[in-house]
Amino acid sequence: MSSQASKDHPDGQKPPLLVDDHTVATIRDSKIFILLRGLPGSGKTTLAREIEQKYKDTSRLISADQYEIKPAVRSSSGGDYSKLDDELTTCFEKREARVVILDDTHHDRERLDKLFDMANTYHFAVVVLEPKTPWRLDCAQLKDRNHWKLSLEELKNLRPTLEKELLPLYFGWFLAKRDEDFLRKTSHDFLEQLGNLKAFKKRLPAFGYEDKQKLDLLKHFAKSPNILHCTTKFCDYGKVLGSEEYAQQEAVKKAYSKGYTLHITALCVTPKTVGAQVELTVDQLLTWPLDAEKEVMPRDNLPRGSRAHITLGTAAEVQDVQTGIDLLEFVKLQQSGRDGENVGELTGLVTGKVNYYENGMWMLNLSRKIEVKSIFSGYYGKPGVSVPLRGSKKGILNQCQIM
């Protein structure tokens, strides 16, 4: 990187994925699709090349400039992107890189939706980055900086599409691929062991089964997010009240694209969901909304962060958001002094004591916390997109990305 480029992008302005060692290590274990976004001449290409160099052993940089795609107010329905998309698809399908970087203006919503669908299909978490250069929205300066020689009027026409921040369906911590695979195997092992416990078989009616019937919990929880994650704030692309304010919080902006280690203390099962309870650190609580627990249980005074969870699976027709609600029911019982009935211990990939509460509520208190690496980002795709995922001895599980 040239000395001038270093001045344009001082370390204090660089995203964590370039300057934070823990984040760099986490990214290397993840599948990340990085979209550079901004006006022509704002510094996207410089930033893209720096990211490519940082992850040179596992990255692939694709640029719209390579295909002579001139930035303009346009719809994605045109044929300009066909060859670029072919290269992207090949890169995803052949697993040519864990870090895929796309350099373009990304001002068109239809175009972005197509890219988000691709990321979802191939199980890549998305990070959207914009240059922090002082002139990034100064059309007068950009007129002389952009190599397309766009006029001042053309730049001013593009600017409104890029002034407003791109808000996701939700923010959260997205697990690194290696740790995600381990957690899926762990949850499958847990469900198989739990389903074989005598104490569990005696309480099948809570799941809608007769005492002597056989219940395959892996099939019962046939849906799981295509990328395991712990949601912080549901935004609905900015439609939810307080979303824009949340995104503008300094702690949230500093956390974006940063790597975090999440600590899992328990695995929980109800007739509707199976999930992992996450214990947030003081640093992680900085990005946790003040009203996260009150949103679903307004009459209860529950500890901040007690809704933090990772959905591992849900029953048919059950949305992922139900997992957090179920977890808070456990927390309420524990607050009232009811720790459940201890019915034994599990060994294997997971070890710990199994407690039964009521109405088909089971909790495995782990003897040792599970640590998983994650990246703080947003999910920008459409809700309810279903894709297949390998990961079970039983074959293919249907996936559902909701929250």
Do residue 75 and residue 19 come from a single domain?
yes
Number of domains the chain is built from: 2
107 is catalytic: no
Residues in the chain: 403
Paired with 374 in beta bridges are 175, 260
Q: Which parts of the chain have pLDDT scores under 50?
A: 1-6, 75-78, 385-403
Do residue 274 and residue 370 come from a single domain?
yes
pLDDT of residue 98: 96
Do residue 79 and residue 185 come from a single domain?
no
Out of 9, 188, 220, 309, pick the active-site residue. Answer: 309
Residue 256 lies in a domain: no
Residue 23 lies in a domain: yes
Q: Which domain-ending residue is among 119, 134, 163?
A: 163
For 114, list phi and psi in degrees, rounded to 5.
-65, -40
- Written as one letter, the residue type at 112 is L
Question: Tens digits of per-residue pLDDT, 198-243?
Answer: 999 999 999 988 766 789 999 999 999 999 999 999 999 999 999 9
SS (H, E, C) 145-186: HCCCCCCHHHHHHHCHHHHCCCCCCEEEEEECHHHHHHHHHH
pLDDT of residue 214: 83
Residue 246 lies in a domain: no
Residue 138 lies in a domain: yes
DSSP assignment string, 120-138: HHTT-EEEEE----TTTT-
Do residue 93 and residue 70 come from a single domain?
yes
Out of 123, 188, 220, 229, pick the active-site residue. Answer: 229
pLDDT of residue 357: 97
Q: Which domain-ending residue is among 137, 163, 189?
A: 163
Q: What share of the chain is helix, strand, coil (3-state, %, to 5)?
A: 35, 25, 40
Spatial separation of the C-alpha atoms in residues 397 and 403, rounded to whole Å: 18
pLDDT of residue 15: 96
Tokens at 268, concatenated: 């929980």
Do residue 103 and residue 225 come from a single domain?
no
220 is catalytic: no
For 359, the domain range is 173-233+261-399
- Written as one letter, the residue type at 271 is P
Other CB atoms within a 10 A radius of the CB of residue 261 amount to: 15
Residue 121 lies in a domain: yes
Residue 386 lies in a domain: yes
What CATH number did the domain enclosing 81 receive?
A: 3.40.50.300
Question: Residue 87: in which H helix or E strand, if any?
Answer: helix 82-93
Residue 111, SS3 per DSSP: helix
pLDDT of residue 344: 92
Residue 272 lies in a domain: yes
Paired with 345 in beta bridges are 353
Do residue 93 and residue 198 come from a single domain?
no
Do residue 159 and residue 177 come from a single domain?
no
DSSP assignment string, 38-71: --TTSSHHHHHHHHHHHTTTTEEEEEGGGGT---
Residue 17 lies in a domain: yes
pTM of the model: 0.91
Q: At what angle do helices 109-121 and 82-93 cross, to 10 degrees?
A: 20
pLDDT of residue 74: 61
Do residue 276 and residue 136 come from a single domain?
no
Do residue 377 and residue 351 come from a single domain?
yes
pLDDT of residue 388: 34
Do residue 215 and residue 141 come from a single domain?
no
Do residue 197 and residue 88 come from a single domain?
no
Do residue 133 and residue 34 come from a single domain?
yes
Q: Which domain-ending residue is among 145, 163, 181?
A: 163
